[in-house]
Amino acid sequence: MFHSQIQDPNPQASEPTSRLVGGTEYSWCRAVPTGTGITVLALLLSKPPDISLLQNALHKLQNYHPILRSKLHYDSPSNTFSFITPPLPHLQISAFDLSSTSQIIHDHDRDDVTPFHLILEHELNQNAWQNDNTCDTDVFFVRTYALNDTRWVVVFRLHTSVCDRASAVSLLKEMLKLIGDEREGEGIEVEYERKSEVSLGIEDFIPSGKANKPFWARGVDMLGYSLNSFRLSNIDFVDASSIRGSKVARLRLDSAETQRILEGCKSRGIKLCGALAAAGLIAARSSKCLPEHQRERYAVVTLTDCRSILDPVLSSNHLGFYHSAVLNTHDTDGTETLWELATRTYTAFANAKNSNKHFTDMSDLNFLMCKAIENPGLTPSSSLRTAFISVFEDPVIDESNGLHQEIGVEDYIGCSSVHGVGPSIAIFDTLRDGQLDCACVYPSPLHSEEQMHQLLDEMKRILVDGCNSES
């Protein structure tokens, strides 16, 4: 393994800037050390990455997006976190040769997954923020791995407080565009001129009045969330005592299956997230072999990108964490069809969003997340499970293009770890060239590979069979 240090050809003397993290960012600063919120974007390449071009592209990205060159600073006396942003990029690329990569793969080897998959899981469990409150820590890491003579992996690993899913998608697109321009000898220095300060957190962009909630209502909601958590069902825990890590399983459908599901959602006025959540709920209940009509209550977290509804509106490439969560609970007795439950789950989310609960309940959910971290015993079997499943309101939509072929991108997966506080299964869905491709992240060995593969196989069957039903 060797390191390549990016150097600024024209350094400018100036002081670092800093700002305290916002409320949502703070909850991630608390969650990531436990193992939840390590965001990874992994690319499988059929061509060796040009380290020089990659360095130049990352250099420009760090200049244009100050949050990518920031360090996370923890102040123990005040128990606060801050982003400290140096004036110059300092990213160090770690490159693993064949021998180093082979050892990592050997240490994690499983017959049922590819080396690319193993590298992704390996990165999801590399926690630079786990026990390092004594010094400032980078929020952005880049690594390259040589799988063999024809395949390479490039991995971006980020602290989720600085990169939500929309940020990761934007980051990938910008990086590929920059590398393509570098290959052609084109510069875009004007677009990527240096910016000095990190943007504000989501709370500072919420439109006036949208987050208002009477004190008594906040108290009632907090009590409701707390009490409901004791009545929630979960899929069985296989091993609740061993040290946990995040693993990934993929749920993929072909173009025809995907199109039928999308058409089914459109005809009912709902979104794909409703169908995914419903399939998960049905599969979870059926995994328990319960008596017919016995009701179970599960929690569903739906994440929505708020950029388009903030004040001012933020662009899609405005990096940071600007998602908000809506928590709903749903009863199921095993008699519901996919579309009946999908309509119910999506309608509950849509009604909550129309009532601004993604803003009014933001601080409540952040507070409860931190309380669960401090008191694992408040969750079933001290599992830190706060919901059964999490989904995104909208999928990532991606179409292959000439640039992918030029750089040699064969596959990529973007997701975040969940083995600290969070759901039993987190769905990161992408519509890639018209096909549904979901990276499904779960905590292991709290849940086993066999258990998750059975759950996802059942979810796929429910989705496919549901497309053949009009009910």
Tell me: the pLDDT tens digits for 299-308?
999 999 999 9
3-state helix/strand/coil string of 120-186: HHHHHCCCCCCCCCCCCEECEEEEEEECCCCCEEEEEEEEHHHCCHHHHHHHHHHHHHHHHHHHCCC
- Beta-ladder partners of 413: 42
Give the residue-averaged pLDDT of 271-276.
98
Q: d(Cα 265, Cα 373) in Å, to the nearest integer? A: 36
Give the residue-averaged pLDDT of 441-455.
97
Tokens of 3: 């390191």
pLDDT at position 196 is 73
Place 4 in a pLDDT band, splitting at 50, 70 and 90.
Answer: very low
pLDDT at position 1 is 42
CATH class of the structural domain 2-199: alpha beta
Give the residue-averaged pLDDT of 176-199.
68
**pLDDT greater than 70 at residue 469:** no
Q: d(Cα 154, Cα 399) in Å, to the nearest integer? A: 20
3-state helix/strand/coil string of the chain: CEEEECCCCCCCCCCCEEEECCHHHHHHHHHHHHCEEEEEEEEEECCCCCHHHHHHHHHHHHHHCHHHHCEEEEECCCCEEEEEECCCCCCEEEEECHHHHHHHHHHCCCCCCCHHHHHHHHHHCCCCCCCCCCCCEECEEEEEEECCCCCEEEEEEEEHHHCCHHHHHHHHHHHHHHHHHHHCCCCCCCCCCCCCCCCCCHHHHCCCCCCCCCHHHHHHHHHHHHHHHCCCCCCCCCCCCCCCEEEEEEEECCHHHHHHHHHHHHHHCCCHHHHHHHHHHHHHHHCCCCCCCCCEEEEEEEEEECHHHCCCCCCCCCCCCCEEEEEEEEEECCCCCHHHHHHHHHHHHHHHHHCCHHHHCHHHHHHHHHHHHHCHHHCHHHCCEEEEEEEECCCEEECCCHHHHHHCEEEEEEEEEECCCEEEEEEEEEEECCEEEEEEEEEECCCCHHHHHHHHHHHHHHHHHHCCCCC
**pLDDT greater than 70 at residue 381:** yes
pLDDT at position 3 is 39
Place 188 in a pLDDT band, splitting at 50, 70 and 90.
Answer: very low
Of the candidate ranges 272-276, 307-311, 331-335, 453-457, the one whose mean pLDDT is the lowest? 331-335
Place 108 in a pLDDT band, splitting at 50, 70 and 90.
Answer: confident
Q: How many CB atoms lie within 10 A of CB 16?
A: 16
Place 9 in a pLDDT band, splitting at 50, 70 and 90.
Answer: very low
Task: Report yes or no: 413 and 246 within 8 Å, Cβ to Cβ.
Answer: no
Tell me the one-letter amino acid at 189: E
The rounded radius of gyration (Å) of the Cα atoms in the chain is 22
Q: d(Cα 451, Cα 287) in Å, to the nearest integer? A: 9
Q: d(Cα 64, Cα 197) in Å, to the nearest integer? A: 10
Antiparallel, parallel or unpaired: β 36-45 and 245-252: unpaired
From the number of C-beta atoms within 10 Å of its C-beta (0-12, 13-18, 19+), residue 243 rates as: exposed
Tokens of 453: 């593969």
- In the chain, the percentage of residues whose pLDDT exceeds 90 is 72
Q: For Cα atoms 51, 169, 89, give the angle at the middle one, nearest 5 degrees.
A: 45
206-410+417-466 and 2-199 share a CATH fold:
yes
Task: Report yes or no: 391 and 384 within 8 Å, Cβ to Cβ.
Answer: no
- pTM greater than the 0.85 cutoff: yes
Q: What is the CATH number of domain 206-410+417-466?
A: 3.30.559.30
Give the residue-averaged pLDDT of 45-72.
92
Kindly list the distances between the CA atom of residue 2 and the CA atoms of 182, 230, 258, in Å, as whole numbers in the listed order.
23, 50, 43
**pLDDT greater than 70 at residue 391:** yes
**pLDDT greater than 60 at residue 190:** no
**pLDDT greater than 70 at residue 187:** no
Q: Best-predicted range by mean pLDDT among 4-13, 101-110, 363-372, 437-446? A: 437-446
**pLDDT greater than 70 at residue 247:** yes
Cα dihedral 343→212→201→386 (10° resolution): -50
Residue-range domain boundaries for the chain? 2-199, 206-410+417-466
